[in-house]
């Protein structure tokens, strides 16, 4: 089953983790600020709790999310500025829980493929969650009006193991504070990217589907 879309801070918030598709890099909110965690990026992905729906991000404000678990009726689009996306929790070494929420098409494609692998794995039936590592990035060039292209980096995500559901997941709140806008990269990431032919974006936003 695919996703179906063509989800230590203070207070009651889960700190954010974000992926900058323009640079191919990961960032985590830590107590002393935001840190780049791209090198050796590894985390437990809570695909059992992933939700999809409509997300909106604005600089300096908490993200707005209207989502539902996969398999349940999906919410209507709240406003024009909302985009299709997902949110889920990640658990890093030591049990730290972060929330990943995104509308980036390149990241959604990678998460969708990984989720399909998860649903088909026998370990899922045993109640385990995948340990995922980024092994590099793939360049995705998309045509834009006027004949130009935009370049993004899709993360190459690989399941390297399976673990019992971490206890910290069940103790974590459900929402993350706002993640500031990702910086614009001037050079490709240093994680080993592989060029691919230009792709024309699909009107449904890839294989992920909200229906």
Residue 127's Cβ-side half-sphere holds a number of Cα atoms within 13 Å equal to 3
Compute CA 134 distance to the chain's CA centroid, rounded to the nearest angstrom: 12
Residue 187 lies in a domain: no
Instruction: Answer yes or no: is 207 within a domain.
Output: no
**Structural domain includes residue 206:** no
Q: How far apart (Å, rounded) are the C-alpha atoms in residues 189 and 22?
A: 9
Q: In the chain, at which residue ranges do the beta strands (DSSP E only) sit?
A: 16-20, 25-30, 33-36, 42-45, 51-56, 64-69, 83-91, 97-102, 128-143, 149-164, 193-194
Task: Tell me what the mean pLDDT of segment 119-135 comes to.
Answer: 97
Q: Which residues contact 76 (CB under 8 A, 6 or more apart)?
A: none
Whether 204 maps to a domain, the answer reads no
Position 143 confidence tier, pLDDT thresholds 50, 70, 90: confident
Query: Domain for residue 27, yes or no?
Result: yes
Between 13 and 19, the more confident residue is: 19
The reply to whether 128 falls in a domain is yes
Give me the pLDDT at residue 165, please.
96
What's the total number of domains in the chain?
1
| Host domain of residue 67 | 16-182
């Amino acid at each position: 089953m695919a996703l179906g879309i063509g989800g230590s801070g203070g207070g009651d918030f889960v700190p954010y983790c974000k992926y900058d598709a323009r640079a191919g890099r990961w960032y985590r909110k830590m107590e002393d600020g935001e840190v780049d965690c791209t090198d050796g990026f590894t985390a437990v992905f809570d695909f059992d709790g992933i939700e999809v729906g409509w997300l909106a991000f604005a600089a300096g404000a908490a993200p707005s999310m209207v989502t539902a678990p996969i398999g349940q009726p999906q919410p209507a689009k709240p406003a024009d500025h909302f985009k299709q996306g997902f949110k889920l929790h990640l658990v890093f070494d030591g049990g730290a829980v972060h929330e990943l929420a995104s509308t980036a098409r390149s990241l959604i494609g990678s998460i969708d493929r990984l989720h399909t692998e998860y649903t088909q794995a026998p370990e899922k039936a045993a109640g385990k969650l995948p340990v995922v590592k980024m092994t590099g990035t793939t360049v995705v060039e998309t045509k834009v009006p006027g004949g130009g292209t935009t370049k993004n980096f899709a993360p190459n995500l690989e399941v390297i193991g399976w673990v019992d559901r971490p206890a910290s997941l069940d103790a974590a709140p459900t929402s993350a504070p706002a993640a500031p806008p990702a910086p614009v990269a001037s050079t490709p990431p240093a994680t080993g990217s592989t060029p691919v032919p230009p792709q024309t974006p699909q009107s449904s936003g890839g294989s992920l589907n909200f229906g």
